[in-house]
Amino acid sequence: MKDKIIKDKLPKHVAVIMDGNGRWAKQKGNMRLFGHQNGVKAVREVTEAAAELGIEYLTLYAFSTENWNRPKAEVEGLMSLLVSTIASETKTLNNNNVRLRVIGCHNLPASVQKKLDECVAQTASNTGLTLVLALSYSSRWEITEAARQIAADVKSGKITAESIDENTVSQYLSTSFMPDPELLIRTSGELRISNFLMWQIAYSELYFCETLWPDFRKDDFYRAIVEYQGRERRFGKTSEQVRN
Ligand code: FPP
């Protein structure tokens, strides 16, 4: 699959909704947390594949605002898995020139926030792939926060209401440091966006596959890139306009 990828037509930013951990575990007669633990391997594979290809940004939906409503034991298990994974992978991120950033992150337990801040600081000078974890993130929350901040800045006279355009809104989102994703991948056969990057994916190519997240490997990632490269991105124009 990797050989089929056109090197000068790579997406700059790929976003992933990692789904199917629970079903993967259930199929094996195990607890849901077992699925999350095995999902870490897929996170490693995809991060490595994206870094090797030279993709600039990879955003992974690791925990949504709505995920707080899951059973307490699952939430606690996921949080400690995140902390231990981030702690143990910081060295590998540095060895591979990968920078970690986070979006969302409201109401995270202090210990999780601390570990995240440490890893973000320790990888801040890396210049290769930027790995963005969406943690305690939801798009509606993010857009609401942006609206509140824009209103405050209008009130204080920092900006005028008339000057607000699409670009302004983008600049107030937590993703303002990176381009919108050209490609969004969702695993496990579910056909939903689930409150993820709703503003940013206005023109993204959507790729859905049946593979459950813990089974997702480099080749599955390459397949998504190849499919993306075969699509015609028209941005509302006609096919003829795009080709000329
Ligand atoms: C969705 O599967 C997955 C999650 C809510 C968590 C994703 C977390 C990991 C892969 C753990 C490690 C991550 C990092 C970044 C270190 P689901 O539980 O909704 O599965 P289901 O739909 O089959 O129930």
Q: 132: domain CATH number?
A: 3.40.1180.10
Total residues belonging to the chain: 244
Active site residues: 19, 67
Residue nearest atom 6 of ligand 1, based on CA coordinates: 62
The Cα 119–Cα 117 span in angstroms is 6
Q: Which of 19, 90, 103 to mutate to test the pocket of ligand 1 (most atoms within 8 A of CB)?
A: 19
Contact 119, 135 (CB under 8 A): no
Confidence (pLDDT) at 243 = 84
The number of distinct structural domains making up the chain is 1
Looking at the domain assignment, is residue 173 inside a domain? no
Confidence (pLDDT) at 236 = 87
* The dihedral formed by the CA atoms of 131, 133, 138 and 142, expressed in degrees to the nearest 10: -60
Confidence (pLDDT) at 178 = 98
Cα 78 to ligand 1 centre (Å): 8
Q: Which domain holds residue 69?
A: 2-138+181-230
Confidence (pLDDT) at 105 = 75
Looking at the domain assignment, is residue 119 inside a domain? yes
Looking at the domain assignment, is residue 102 inside a domain? yes
Looking at the domain assignment, is residue 123 inside a domain? yes
Chain CA centroid to CA 13, Å:
9
Looking at the domain assignment, is residue 243 inside a domain? no
Alpha helices in 123-209 (DSSP H): 139-155, 166-172
Looking at the domain assignment, is residue 152 inside a domain? no
* The dihedral formed by the CA atoms of 57, 61, 62 and 68, expressed in degrees to the nearest 10: 150
Confidence (pLDDT) at 239 = 85
The Cα 68–Cα 65 span in angstroms is 6
Segments of the chain scoring below 70 in pLDDT: none
Confidence (pLDDT) at 232 = 87
Looking at the domain assignment, is residue 235 inside a domain? no
Cα 166 to ligand 1 centre (Å): 32
Give per-residue pLDDT as tens, 196-232: 999 999 999 999 999 999 999 999 999 999 999 999 8
Instruction: Identify the residue whose tokens are 């490595």.
Output: 48
Burial of 109 from C-beta contacts in 10 A (0-12 / 13-18 / 19+): middle
Looking at the domain assignment, is residue 38 inside a domain? yes
Q: Which of 16, 18, 24 to mutate to test the pocket of ligand 1 (most atoms within 8 A of CB)?
A: 18
pTM above 0.75, yes or no: yes
